Amino acid sequence: MSDGSVSIKQLVKTYVDDRGRPTFTAVKKISLNIADGEFMVLVGPSGCGKSTTLRMVAGLEKITSGTISIGSRVVNELEPKDRGIAMVFQNYALYPHMTIFNNMAFGLQLAKKEKEIISDSVGRTSKALGLDHMLERKPHALSGGQRQRVALGRAIVRSPKVFLFDEPLSNLDAKMRVHMRSEISKLHAQLGSTMIYVTHDQVEAMTMGDRICVMCDGNIMQVADPLTLYRQPENLFVAGFIGSPTMNLLKGKVQKRDDALYFVENGEANALSLPLQGRLASSAKQYAGKEIIFGVRPEHLSDEAKDQSHVPITSTVEIAEPMGSESLVYLKTGTGSFIARIHGEHLYHSGEPVTVQINLDKVHLFDPQTEKAIR
């Protein structure tokens, strides 16, 4: 049975210059376990160490310290070709002088597989990818989407235990990206192989990953399934990174009045004051009199009070972006502005006073010092 699990332990990468002097630590002692057959996405802003991590799994980058295991084998010292992996890159990395057939067959030919096996495998895979009628063409005669499919096909025919993807869709136009996204997800469902997929695009991460590993500055910020990341971000970074438009984060204090707790936003005019009840009150208790960050996603504001967890706030419209079925409405608050994503076809105007209902069940609180979620 193929064991395509990947285990990363205390992995560090410090780049060095020509003389071996350390220049930059791109990966800072990260640990991550990926199950056999899992689709794991590494996501984070540019420069956070995603590709470096993937390239160390592939064997294309030397590890500074730590271990990487594929199945039960530590692969630290193994050549890329002996690791049971296949990699798909952003720039496709096809051989321009070879036909599509030969591009796909090359790895198998190197491995000295029999001709019939190669032709059978390339035939089946190219058919599944809709490339079977263009096997004699060269890469220059293909569109970007077709080239990326050849790169996928070349990986598939090798039957790797683990597929590694490095921003494979970045060079495609928006429509083709969405299409290839679902192709790769289907492929994962069919093959059941482990896939590790690097992207800076949180929508790609959310739509494709069984689990997502959010990285920042060479560290792992949170690893969870897409809904858990959305519902329970563990820190300010994940809260701000997942979701679009991004979560509203307001600075303020917890105030105790009589026996009740309130979040009171910093600033004078338009500063929000909101009751903290139930779950929020027990989390905020230890912060009475102290600073706190209050987070709410734009979609958790609406124009109607649905139940008791909805509390009205009144403000002024700064600008509104009508999008047909919904509007993004920017509201003025004490220290800045606040985005509400409001369903319906109502047209909002700048300067107009407006009351929106905030769903306190969906609010997040963060410690401004540690940046961690307060639960």
In this complex, which beta carbon is closest to ligand ADP, that of residue 30 or of residue 157? 30
Residue the block writes with tokens 């084998």:
73
Closest CB 218 distance from ligand ADP, rounded Å? 7
At its nearest, how many Å lie between ligand ADP and the CB of residue 359?
Answer: 34
Enter the DSSP assignment of 240. H
Is residue 125 at the binding interface for ligand ADP, with CB under 6 A as the rule? no
Least gap, CB of 61 to ligand ADP (angstroms): 8
Pick from 162, 158, 224: nearest CA to 195: 162
List binders of ligand ADP among 50-69 (CB under 6 A). Answer: 50-52
Nearer to ligand ADP, 51 or 357 (CB): 51
Q: How far is CA 82 from CA 113, 123, 145, 171, in A?
A: 16, 25, 29, 29
95 binding ligand ADP? (CB under 6 A): no
N-to-C CA span, the chain:
42
260-265 vs 301-302, strand pairing mode: unpaired
Token couple for 180: 């290839």
User: Does 236 help bind ligand ADP (rule: CB under 6 A)?
Assistant: no
Q: Which is nearer to ligand ADP, 14 or 255 (CB)?
A: 14
Identify which of 86, 232, 95, 208 has the alpha carbon closest to the alpha carbon of residue 159: 86
* Under rule CB under 6 A, residue 49 binds ligand ADP: yes
Stretch that binds ligand ADP, among 42-50, 102-110, 304-312, 344-352 (CB under 6 A): 42-50
Q: What is the distance between the alpha carbons of residues 315 and 2, in angstroms, rounded to a whole number? A: 59
Give the span between the Cα atoms of 350 and 218, in whole angstroms: 42
Q: Where on the phi/psi map is residue 371: left (φ > 0), alpha (ψ -120 to 50), or beta? A: left
Nearer to ligand ADP, 150 or 213 (CB): 213
Q: Which is nearer to ligand ADP, 48 or 276 (CB)?
A: 48
Tell me, by CB under 6 A, how many residues bind ligand ADP.
12
Q: Which of 6, 34, 43, 48 binds ligand ADP (CB under 6 A)?
A: 48
CB of 51 to ligand ADP, least distance (A): 3
As measured in angstroms, the least distance from the Cβ of 63 to ligand ADP is 13
Among 6, 26, 162, 365, indicate the residue that binds ligand ADP (CB under 6 A): 26
Whole-number Å distance between alpha carbons of 84 and 17: 30
From 48-56, 135-143, 229-237, 258-266, give the range in contact with ligand ADP by CB under 6 A: 48-56
Task: Give dist(CA 255, CA 275) in Å, integer.
Answer: 10
* Whole-angstrom distance, CA of residue 189 vs CA of residue 166: 19
Per CB under 6 A, the segment of 46-54, 183-191, 310-318, 346-354 that binds ligand ADP is 46-54
Length of the chain: 375
Interface residue with ligand ADP, options 20, 46, 189, 349 (CB under 6 A): 46
46 or 72: whose CB is closer to ligand ADP? 46
**If binding is defined by CB under 6 A, does position 202 make contact with ligand ADP?**
no
- Choice between 37 and 47, CB closer to ligand ADP: 47
Is residue 199 part of the contact set for ligand ADP (CB under 6 A)? no
Closest CA to 105 of 147, 153, 142: 153
* Minimum gap (Å) between residue 216 Cβ and ligand ADP: 9
Q: Applying CB under 6 A, does 317 fall inside the site for ligand ADP?
A: no
Sheet holding 248-257, edge to edge: 273-276, 260-265, 248-257, 291-296, 364-366
Residue 127 has φ and ψ, to the nearest 5°, of: -65, -45
Locate tokens 């057939």: which residue? 101
The least distance separating ligand ADP from the CB of residue 241, rounded to whole angstroms, comes to 13
Residue type, 333: T
112: left (phi over 0), alpha (psi -120 to 50) or beta: left
Q: Which residue, 43 or 358, is less far from ligand ADP as judged by CB? A: 43
Q: Does 23 bind ligand ADP (CB under 6 A)?
A: yes
Distances (CA, A) of 336 to 123, 210, 269, 271: 59, 36, 10, 9
Site residues (CB under 6 A) for ligand ADP? Answer: 15, 23-24, 26, 44, 46-52
